[in-house]
Structure formats: C-alpha cells, structure tokens
Structure 1
Amino acid sequence: MSEEAQIEVDVLVEAGPWPALPGADDLVARAVKAACAGALTEYEMDIDGAEIAVKLTDDATIRALNRDWRGKDSATNVLSFPTPEVARAGGDPHLGDIAIAYETLAREAEAEGKPFADHLAHLAVHGTLHLLGYDHETVEEAEEMEAMERRVLAGLAIPDPYAETEPVLHP
C-alpha cells in the first residue's frame, strides 16, 4: 500500500465485555490497516479510500450471524462479509464487514496460551484478508493466507500464531 493510500476502519463495540480491553478498537483498526497494506504490497491492489466495518460482539450475536448467513448454528471466532464484486465495480468504497466474538476469542486465546490482544489482532487480520479475497478452502489457499497473516502480524510485533500447527481449512 502506498504511503498515501487511506483505509477507513469503523469499529463498533456492540456486545460482550469488550470494554475490559481498553484500546481494542484501536488495535483492531491498526491490524485491519496492516492487513490491507500487506495485501496491497503483494498484489498491488488499489483500495485507496476503501472502508471496512468491524463489529466487536458476543457469541450469541455471531452464532445468529453464522446461522443466518452460513447455515452453521454455532458460534465462531470471526466472520467476514465481503461487499459483492458488482458493488465494488460500481464504485462502492465499502470492502465489507467483519464480526469478532469476544467469548470464543477469549477461550481460544486461553487454550492456546496466547495474549488476548494478540489473538484479537490476528482475527482482525484474518477477517480482513477474507474481505480482500483470501480463503482457506484448500491446503494451497490456507498456506498462502497463513503466510500473509504471518508477515502482517510480524510487522505488528505479534508472534506467529501458526508456529505449531498445520494449515487450517474451512470445515
């Protein structure tokens, strides 16, 4: 991403105990912008002036979103909703929306021995990369996406979240 490129990130604290992490909205905005910068550096995308909305929410809300939009009646850590290509082609600067669930994030961070803030930044990066077209349906896609996540997170001084795992495929 060129130094002049600007990405607007709107972070909404909707539900859950997010106020317990002061600065969560700033951390998420930095992570989203870093993911955009990483993808732009690699693929020379032009998303100057783009907008991304992030909803910090709870398991109940993300479960409903997951059920209604993906047909999966369970909570998950992060969901991404890219703006359709036809809208982007028509000049819509909104790249899409991301939702992150507090309780699932907290359980995963504790189970994996990761700082909550690091895992939050990772999920924000992961969700942003989905908005930019990355996926992990195949091993090759997962390896490419995880490599980008590693580079972006390293730039944020966050340790490699995949150091001891295999590529994660969509279930």
Structure 2
Amino acid sequence: MQIDLDITDERWATLGLEAICEKAALAVLERLEIEADECELSVLGCGDARIKELNADFREKDKATNVLSWPAEERGAEIEGALPETPEPDIFGVIELGDIAISFDTCAREAEEAGKSLTDHATHLMVHGVLHLLGFDHIREADASLMEGIETEILGKMGIKDPYSEY
C-alpha cells in the first residue's frame, strides 16, 4: 500500500501518524478482502485551523471536525444497509482510495473527553476515514449500523475497545 502522508502539524509526527495510518488502512483492507498492495491513499495530518477551512470549503460547515474523507470515486451502495461495491484496480493495477484529513486538536480533545488514548482514537478515526473512502457511510440508519459494526470488529481485532459503547 502506498500512503502519501503530509504532516502540517508536527504533533502528528510525534504521535506516529504514519504508523497509525498504515495499521488502520491495512486492517480495513484485510477485513474487506481488498489487496493492499494495489491501494493508494493520501493523508493530511493537520490542526483545527486547516480542517476548519477544509470543512467550510467542501461541506459548508464553518467549524473544525475530527476527520474528513474524499473518495477517489463514489462507491456507496444504492440499497440501504448493503455493502458497497469492492473497488477494482485501474488499468495500471492501482486502486485509488482517495484523501483523508485528520485534525490533531479535535482528535486529542475528543480522546481526552472520552478517556481514551490518543493513539486509539486516532486509529479509530483513520479506520472510519478509510471506510468512507470505500463507500461506507452513516447517513442512513442501516448504513450507519453496518459501518459501525465493521469499525467495531476491526478495532476489536486491533485490541481497541468499541468506540460506540460507554466504558
């Protein structure tokens, strides 16, 4: 797998964002039986100021958020609660997943508020972001249930507690 990592907030480098991204993406791809060697994605490790700009530009929401995803192509399932179509390599043998931006400030604040480790929360957000790149979403109820179930399963195999339960 190729990950193009752009760290504009050095706190991400200190935390080890590259390893977090790789571990999370590989876990998602393995769970969905997608050949990781064929996949490419880009990740921006930034702070709240930059993610707020991106959120305003792309989602018309003038506030910071934890993670944003831009799939290389629309892969969502038409039928609510169904699995998205598995991506296929292009003529060059590459599966372009898309781009993810993650904010250190929001991630750290949410982790602290929830009593979670920053690494575990960042891993969860990366799993969540990669699933979005693969067509998973949480707008419709059945889609959210499917996505959250897969996230919980993946994170559990990584030794991370269910992020959707109280603990």
**Post-superposition shift, 1:29?**
1.1
> Does 2:2 align with 1:13?
no
What percent identity do the matched residue pairs reach? 42
**Post-superposition shift, 1:159?**
1.2
Partner residue of 1:142 out of 141, 144, 150: 144
Structure 1 gap segments, 5+ residues each: 1-6, 166-171
Aligned to 2:51: 62
> Which digits, 9 at most, give the CA deviation of each residue in 1:23-46, with x for residues without a partner?
221122111111121122xxxx56
TM-score, length-scaled by structure 2: 0.83
Partner residue of 1:37 out of 27, 30, 41: 30
> Which digits, 9 at most, give the CA deviation of each residue in 1:87-120, with x for residues without a partner?
x785463210000000000000000000000000
Q: Within 5 Å, which residues of 2 pair with 1:123-142?
A: 123-142=125-144
Paired amino acid for 1:28:
C
Aligned length: 153
Aligned to 1:71: 60
Aligned to 1:26: 19
Counterpart of 1:10 in 2: which secondary structure? strand
Q: Distance in 2 between matches of 1:35 and 1:56?
A: 19
Is this contact kept in 2: 1:16–1:102, CA < 8 A? Answer: no
Q: Distance in 2 between matches of 1:125 and 1:29?
A: 10
Is this contact kept in 1: 2:2–2:37, CA < 8 A? Answer: no
Counterpart of 2:162 in 1: which secondary structure? coil
User: RMSD in angstroms over aligned alpha carbons?
Assistant: 2.2
> Which digits, 9 at most, give the CA deviation of each residue in 1:63-97, with x for residues without a partner?
111111111111000000001259x7854632100
Paired amino acid for 2:153:
R
Is this contact kept in 1: 2:2–2:40, CA < 8 A? Answer: yes
4+ long deviations beyond 6 Å: none
Structure 2 gap segments, 5+ residues each: 76-87
Q: Distance in 2 between matches of 1:61 and 1:159?
A: 29
**Post-superposition shift, 1:19?**
3.3
